[in-house]
Structure 1
Amino acid sequence: MVSHPHQGTTSSALTRLSVNAARLLGVPPHGYANLLGVAPEHLNDDLCRTPAATAIRIAELTTAHAPWTELSLALAQQSSIGSLGVWDYLITSAPTPLEGIRDAAAYFAAVADTATDTLRITEDGDHVTISHVNRADLTHEAACAIRGYALGLYQRRLSEAARRRLAPVRVTLDAAAPGRHGALAELYGTRAIDFEAPDSSITFLASDLKVPVPHAQPGLSAVLRRHAEQTLATAIPLHNWLDLFRTALASAHDETTPTLSAVARRMTVSTRTLQRRLDEHGTTWNNEVETLRRAQITRLLHDTDLGIDAIAARSGYADARALRRAVQRWYGTTPAALRRTGPPDDGGTALPDTG
């Protein structure tokens, strides 16, 4: 499993599916609209990682309003190819469906919270079994919906990779048999489902998953794996209010030199409230702006050929002299030397703690 620093969060793409399913099933939006990460600027930003607690709450609200089987089906029906970003294409672009689902398991962190959810693949002779394990602290109905959807998603992606609907040999669910099986029969294409099983899994013929994918492009899987790694490396986890503030600050900085009032407007609070909340989190406006500038300047020096004057202008400094003073304060060196050697392993002279 590829390690990542974003446990406790899920991709915004997965949260978008959950919100859309809740709407389709008639869940009143006032129950989830104010949850962390559901604001449009975060929900529609693929760089943002939504707190897993948000996704859990939406699932619980939805299964309190509709049967868990309906939620599983609604999520799967919305999960068209590409809806989960590069993770989808890891499965559909590999040389074989089996290699694709193995890549998907290795980079499961690109969509899910690997602290609680696991995709397991077991080969046993003529069969391949794909299991979804969920250990999150949520209601049983919501857990059933998540596991049920996951198995349907895996079947859909594998079928898209094979360019034909793959019929499972067996489906097992860690859930009591529902009163009606119609939604699950539609989801899996079979009524042969074992309930109250030790785990939730879907089994295919190994021969179906080992057939070469039509029109597979050599080398594409390696490109997609690198893209998945980059997606995780650049993701922004929204664990708390300070994460939301830093996302708003970065967005404002991308457009112009950020001001306290501009970021306060983005967050729909007063400047006084914004300053108070920063103080509660042990930081200040000036500290946060300087931290953002330091990261941007370091990146521009390392990744571009821009001159010092251009970097100063782009970073909000009055001139190159002001930028040189800042780099000296942070790293004890000059921009030219920093460009040649990169920042020290310890990040140089630390700014005040902003966490």
Structure 2
Amino acid sequence: MPSNFLPSPARARSPHSTVRRDLACVVVITVLAGALFATFDFSEFAYHWTRSAERFQLDELPATLFVLATGCAWFAWRRYRESQRELQHRRALEEEAERLLADNRRLASEGMNAQETERRHLARELHDELGQYLNAISLDAGRIRDLSAGREPETHRLALSLMQSASHVYRQIGDMIRRLRPIGLDEFGLPTALEHCVESWRERLPQASFTLTVDGDFSRLADTLNITLYRLVQEGLTNVSKFARSSRVEIYLVRAPGDAARSGEIVVTMADDGPGTDLSKPRAGLGLIGMRERVEALGGEFHIASQPGGGFLFCARVPVQAGLPEPSEPNEDDAPLPERSEK
């Protein structure tokens, strides 16, 4: 994986450490200046130099400068206090923005959960209800065909037409079910569903080469996370069919282990050696935007890299715990009420 998809965290310098450093510099410079002035008798030299201008009262200048320095110090202290208050206010606003962003991601995740739940329900209804009746229609038409063979050619022809229509509708419903819900995702898991998806694209694009590599345990993931990972690969393969039909496509799905503080993350990478594109130019399609929104809604990161003639690559990093319900904190209102003692 390219190293530019692994951003390193920037080190933030504390404002308090900067203030202490500047104050220490001022103290050190003042001490050195006092030592130099004492060594070279700067006051006597200044008095000798300004004695001829006694009528201008220059001997009162140090006191005036002291008052000015005190005023500047007071002014600097006021500005420092105001900057601290402004900094605290900005931090509060940033924390509020982070909280609102987290709420937005949570709502987006709940919206995708509701959407996928409705899609699952609709797919099952199409399969169980319409599929059952279409099979019954096909069987009845086959029975009519067998009984009418050789005796009523017109009835035989209508029976064949009825069977063909039922088969066509059944195939269309199968395509709708596959678009609503990935085949095998609920029964066999994400890796098997991706294998089926890639295999279907191998049949559609025989001139392209597809390689799928899966590394890690992908069980017990949230349904929203499974759907997001599947849709990423699906949309990436759709882009390949549009812009790189004869390229070599490599897909990597890796579950990276975490440490004591984090539970790990899942990395999806898809790269092809197609014609590529110029990312500096605006793009009319919404596929990449939808992919980015799906990943960022789960608190992940989405990166793309491409150049004309250099292929196309996207990398998505999503936390393993994305989409799982957060443990709710105990509420005082939910505490059991004390039993009333009967007299």
Q: Which has the larger radius of gyration?
A: 2
Q: Which has the higher helix share?
A: 2
TM-score norm. by structure 1 comes to: 0.20
Q: Which has the higher contact order (CA 8 A, sep 6+)?
A: 1
